[in-house]
Amino acid sequence: MFDAVKIGVVSISDRASTGVYEDKGIPALQEWLGAAVRNPVTWATRLIADEQPLIESTLVELCDVERCDLVLTTGGTGPARRDVTPEATLAIAHKVMPGFGEQMRQISLNFVPTAILSRQVAVIRGNALVINLPGQPKSIRETLEGLRDADGKASVHGIFAAVPYCIDLIGGPYIETNDAVCTAFRPKNAIRLTPAASV
């Protein structure tokens, strides 16, 4: 049996949260994660405005009350005045995980030079990993999944390859991935036999 996983998904947008346009961040994240993760997933979704106190309280709720194992945000990570997602995320952090943001910017720089303006961060709060993602569905997929060469092999690893092992280390469930979408990397001594392999 695969471990159950609880994932929080937060879309941060003034206009989407007030109904000016349809939110695309939550559906994009759920679609990608639904294909990438083999475990049964329980979702906790939130669509909120770009207000730092609101973002902070939402993240605390998802980590401390909802007990999410993983929380992914989308939106609010640029340099504009209303973009305060990284500040809110750092404010609730117990530990900062800078490698996630570094890798996301490295991936996006393959497509646009303005990737250096992105300020995504990742942190640990309690037993939850919280990661800021870009706002556009295409960029969300690229940063999670990575880049592939002409033969379909990973040429640049996406950040999700490191997520399952990180969650192992902070006491969360053992997340299995669909290798056709994203292969989780773990040291050999941390790999658990899958249900199919243990039969």
- As a CATH number, domain 5-190 is 3.40.980.10
pLDDT, tens digit, 9 for 90 and up, residues 123-171 = 999 999 999 999 899 999 999 999 988 888 878 899 999 999 999 999 9
Interval 15-47: pLDDT, tens: 888 888 899 999 999 999 999 999 999 999 999
| pLDDT score of 184 more than 90 | yes
Mean local confidence (pLDDT), 98-112: 96
What is d(CA 77, CA 33) in angstroms, rounded to the nearest whole number? Answer: 21
The 3-class SS string of 60-79 reads HHHHHHCCCCEEEEECCCCC
Tell me which of 46-60, 73-87, 146-160 is least confident: 146-160
Could you tell me the pTM of the whole model?
0.94
Cβ contact 176:39 at 8 Å: yes
